[in-house]
Structure 1
Amino acid sequence: MSNEPDQQSETTTKTNKPSIINVAVAVIHHKDKYLLGFRNAAQHQGNLYEFVGGKIEPNEHAEQALIREVAEETGILLNDNTIVKLGRLHHDYGDKQVSLQVYKIELTVEQYEQHKYCEKGLEGQALTWVSKSQLLAGEYHLPAANKTILEWLKLPSTIVITYPLTHFEAQSNPKGAWLKYHQEKLASDSWVYIRLKDSDSESVAEQLMKDRPDILVILPNDNEQYLDDKHFSTTGDTKTTQQVVAKHLTHSTLIQLFDEIGSSTASIQSLPKDYPLIVSCHDIASIKAANQLAKARLNHNLPPIIGAFLSPVLATQTHPDTPPLGWKAWADLAELADMPIIGLGGLSPTMAEKVIMYGGIGVAGIRQFHQ
């Protein structure tokens, strides 16, 4: 497998400092079965599993390299498959620096049936199909640069955002109505961004998490809104803290951090250290800020940015005066991002496939995302 390059002579400059090697990585799967290769002991990062991939040649697009390398290594032809960009990762191994451009590809039933019993690749490397649960549980050890990919793979195709309390202000008991609605309307095992701005709503949000232990929750960054895991941890109920899968940074916070990152690490260290982040982006400036923050988080061994809400794709009822990006501009911005992109704004769950066609990995929203 050539996910991790092996020739030191190809990676050095005149100063003997390792240059960056661009690698295309194919996260190949069929439903919940994922394809891994195994590097032999003599290779760099040997005795570890990895996703299929290889070096991007000069003047070669990453997707072209992906298709070529997968065909050369496994015989799987991806020319007609949908190739979904997950993100880009830079990792310094000390003796080698690699920049991974990561894509996710789902095989058809025919492709999987043809290759599921292949225990060796065309270059003699061991191949194995593993379940997603085994992969995410860390049962197959991958090089350090691949660990963020596993975090990206946890993202669902749809994320539900809760209604604000103001949506229920006509009710005699707005908090009770909010709680009852979300208890009943949230789909089983869904990812939910609890977005409440009322400073007196901790108990309502916590009650929702207790009543719906099946849901996984995204909370606002501690410094932006009242709701944080510290409150839940003081209640003595650890189950609710285990439901928190990420913290969210708003567009304004992200832009504010952008100028600070280059001069000081204080702003980075002030962000949540125990959880991955999901950020909100609206334009090229925020995409660049997200990329810079993602790199800084990895350099400081902090949990990664696992996704970005990019909005608004289309016009929305909540922000009627905000011009939508439209699909073309949205796709152009998504291509620049170093993390998975989630479509937001005027979308429905049925538009997930269209979002994938334009470079995203899934959709999020409020109005059309509740059962």
Structure 2
Amino acid sequence: MSNGSDQQSQTKKDSKAKTNKPSIVNIVNVAVAVIHYKDQYLLGFRDATQHQGNRYEFVGGKIEADESAAQALIREVAEETGILLDNNTIVKLGRLYHDYGDKQVSLQVYKIELTAEQYEQHRHCEQGLEGQALTWVSKLQLLAGEYHLPTANKTILEWLKLPSKIAISYPLAHFGTHTDAAAAWLQHHQEKLASESWVYIRLKDANSKHLTEQLITARPDILAILPNDNEQPLNGQGSLTANETEIGQRIVGKHLTHSTLMQCFNEVGSPTVLTQSLSKDHPLIVSCHDIASIMAANKLANMRIQQGLPPVIGTFVSPVLATQTHPDDTPLGWEAWSALAELADMPVIGLGGLEPAMLNQALQYGGISVAGISQFI
């Protein structure tokens, strides 16, 4: 796949020099392969004599000086398991920098889904080509923490919770012709949201907390992303009701707009007071439109990992295509969108003029998920 024009390529090169990597000279660059077939994920087991031994791990290994991360990943997986990934779609999840004390690592993490034929060929293999134990585990077991992974992998598990499609609620103004716009909004979303979907509820209205609570109560199967400014209990009181405790368990993330994200850092890139007020109880999803916001998102993501806070689990990069809701915004197009996606240290979600059927296209261009309003509800 083409990475865009010469100008875009140069922009990517220039921008990579600005990424928020720790100032560590002796850092080990590692390619990590999150290999799966549907909801079955492949794990290896590290020998007790190895660094971070007696732990399960995703397959992967050191990136050599003459290799790209993807090339290293294909080579390492073949050497360790015999699985050949040359023709598989390799999707970047993100990059992680972790200091174990005795070793510093930079993990470039990719997700690869096997074909049914590949899975059948390898699913009964209990030992890798280097003698290491191999096992297939369910996504449910993996996310539940039933398999002890190295510390740096904690963020990867959070990334894996992202669905392939995210719905975004209609604004309340969309129902302005109804006698009771709030009631119409609630009924529409209650009836039209797909089963067990993730939905970013972005109401900009005094009734937003009340409507959010009503929707989540009426649809206990959905998981909600809420604006970061919605920090107080939904009922506006100082303590949580039993119902809100249950609702709180179904809030999977808080969202930062592009403008809020950029306010997190001053002109020299130092964190502002706003950064400290971001949700400490939920992961974050941020909105990015350009290189500057991607760099800010990377810096915020690294800071939260270093501080032991819930990570940045994704970024809406938009607009991919032209949209009816923002007709004056110039669309990025797939090539420029892909260039931005490559710079992000977290999973990228396509937004703007998309529909669910475009998921495969997003995967080909470096995204992990797609989102939208009218085509997703």
Where does residue 7 of structure 2 map in the other structure?
A: none
Where does residue 134 of structure 2 map in the other structure?
A: 127
Residue identity opposite 2:234 in structure 1: H
Partners of 1:95 and 1:267 in 2: CA distance? 33
Where does residue 325 of structure 1 map in the other structure?
A: 332
* 1:188 paired to 2:191: no
Partners of 1:350 and 1:228 in 2: CA distance? 34
* 1:40 paired to 2:47: yes
* 1:230 paired to 2:233: yes
Partners of 2:196 and 2:87 in 1: CA distance? 32
* 1:213 paired to 2:220: yes
Q: CA deviation at 1:246?
A: 0.2
Question: What is the SS of the residue equivalent to 2:266?
Answer: helix
Whether the 8 Å CA contact 2:265–2:272 is kept in 1: the answer is: no
Q: How many residues align?
A: 350
The TM-score, its normalising length taken from structure 1, stands at 0.92
Q: CA deviation at 1:264?
A: 4.6
Q: CA deviation at 1:229?
A: 5.5
Where does residue 112 of structure 2 map in the other structure?
A: 105
Q: CA deviation at 1:256?
A: 1.1
Distance 1:260 1:134, change over 3 A: farther
Question: What is the SS of the residue equivalent to 1:177?
Answer: helix
Considering Cα pairs closer than 8 Å and 6+ residues apart, tell me whether 1 or 2 has the greater RCO: 2
Post-superposition CA distance 1:106-141 (Å, at most 9, x none) = 111111111111111000001000000000000001
Partners of 1:153 and 1:339 in 2: CA distance? 11
Residue identity opposite 1:230 in structure 2: P
Question: What is the SS of the residue equivalent to 2:221?
Answer: coil
Q: CA deviation at 1:268?
A: 2.8
Post-superposition CA distance 1:162-188 (Å, at most 9, x none) = 000000000000000000000000000
Select the residue among 228, 232, 252 that pairs with 1:245.
Answer: 252
Post-superposition CA distance 1:1-21 (Å, at most 9, x none) = xxxxxxxxxxxxxxxx87111
**What is the CA RMSD across the aligned residues, in angstroms?**
1.3
Q: CA deviation at 1:265?
A: 6.7
Where does residue 157 of structure 2 map in the other structure?
A: 150
Select the residue among 164, 167, 170 that pairs with 2:171.
Answer: 164
Where does residue 60 of structure 2 map in the other structure?
A: 53
Gaps of 5+ in 1: 1-16
Distance 1:289 1:299, change over 3 A: same
Q: Which segment is superposed worse, 19-28 or 251-260?
A: 251-260
Counting aligned pairs with the same residue, the percent is 71
Q: CA deviation at 1:202?
A: 2.0
Q: Which segment is superposed worse, 98-107 or 253-262?
A: 253-262
* 1:62 paired to 2:69: yes
Residue identity opposite 1:236 in structure 2: A
Where does residue 20 of structure 2 map in the other structure?
A: none
Residue identity opposite 1:142 in structure 2: L
Partners of 1:187 and 1:264 in 2: CA distance? 38
Question: What is the SS of the residue equivalent to 1:234?
Answer: coil
Where does residue 276 of structure 1 map in the other structure?
A: 283
Where does residue 360 of structure 1 map in the other structure?
A: 367
Question: What is the SS of the residue equivalent to 1:122?
Answer: coil
Gaps of 5+ in 2: 1-23
The TM-score, its normalising length taken from structure 2, stands at 0.91
Partners of 1:301 and 1:292 in 2: CA distance? 14
Whether the 8 Å CA contact 2:266–2:272 is kept in 1: the answer is: no
Q: CA deviation at 1:95?
A: 0.8
Distance 1:261 1:107, change over 3 A: farther
Question: What is the SS of the residue equivalent to 1:230?
Answer: coil
Q: CA deviation at 1:346?
A: 0.3
Residue identity opposite 1:214 in structure 2: D
Where does residue 9 of structure 1 map in the other structure?
A: none
Whether the 8 Å CA contact 1:25–1:54 is kept in 2: the answer is: yes
Q: CA deviation at 1:259?
A: 2.0
Q: CA deviation at 1:263?
A: 3.6
Residue identity opposite 2:206 in structure 1: S
Residue identity opposite 1:273 in structure 2: K
Question: What is the SS of the residue equivalent to 1:25?
Answer: strand
Partners of 2:308 and 2:240 in 1: CA distance? 27
* 1:289 paired to 2:292: no
Whether the 8 Å CA contact 1:260–1:267 is kept in 2: the answer is: no
Whether the 8 Å CA contact 1:348–1:369 is kept in 2: the answer is: yes
